[in-house]
Structure 1
């Protein structure tokens, strides 16, 4: 938990996202209280750090839902990020942080390779060519 909080790469769980929001909110309140009591405007620059961390963690939570990080700009999407369940198995942004479905052959990391070599059955054969399948034909 809380690995690479400054990176936009990967996925995080709802718990990590919620705890990050709470922690950042408390840090922002502390910085605002210090700035108000001390009168120093330099404390405003300190607010950039928790805001940046909230943005990076929000982007990673969007990735867990299978969306781009820009989706966090949609009004009320924060509720979906906080309460919505992440994608099962890996998606284009990485493995499932819960570990669910990462080893599943249909959702695993080599799913794209397996899917590209699966045979595809069609009913379209050139005239006169028979594959031996008699289903759906008159005998």
Structure 2
């Protein structure tokens, strides 16, 4: 979990997506408490902007990977309220064009088929 959070490639589970949102909101509130957008220091204001942009980037990257888990392009996240769908909807069964299922469900390998008989 939480591997390559800056990458837009691959798939993630609902748990990681939900934890990312929690991390985003907690971090944003801590930044507001510590630095705050109304800081008198110009350096603090630049630091605040850079950290908020970094948090937004991580959230967008994780949302794109969750869209991939649903079998959709990352651009689907701009649809209003689609984030709720990403949070509560289950993933595609098995591998899709974005990679294997992160839960491991439906990721059948050829080695697992050895010794099984074909049923007509």
- In the superposition, the TM-score normalised over structure 1's length comes to 0.71
Which residue in the other structure is 1:7 paired with? Answer: 7
CA distance in 1, matches of 2:72, 2:109: 22
The structural deviation recorded for 1:49 is 1.2
Q: Distance in 1 between matches of 2:83 and 2:23?
A: 16
Larger radius of gyration: 1
Query: Residue 16 in 1 paired to residue 16 in 2?
Result: yes
Q: For residue 34 of structure 1, what is the aligned residue in structure 2?
A: 34
Structure 1: unaligned runs, 5 residues or longer:
106-139
Separation of aligned partners in 2, 1:11 and 1:73? 18
1:62 to 28, 50, 67: 67
How far off its partner does 1:38 sit? 4.4
Structure 1 distance, partners of 2:99, 2:85, is 20
Deviation at 1:80, TM superposition (A): 0.6
Structure 2 residue runs without a partner (length 5+): 111-120
Which residue of structure 2 lines up, in the alignment, with residue 52 of structure 1? Answer: 57
Normalised by the length of structure 2, the TM-score is: 0.82
**Paired position in structure 2 for 1:94:** 99
Shift of 1:71: 0.2
Aligned pair count reads: 105
The structural deviation recorded for 1:104 is: 6.5
Distance in 1 between residues matched to 2:39 and 2:82, nearest whole Å: 36
Using the TM superposition, name which of 30-39 and 41-50 deviates more: 30-39
Partner SS, residue 45 of structure 2: coil
Shift of 1:30: 1.1
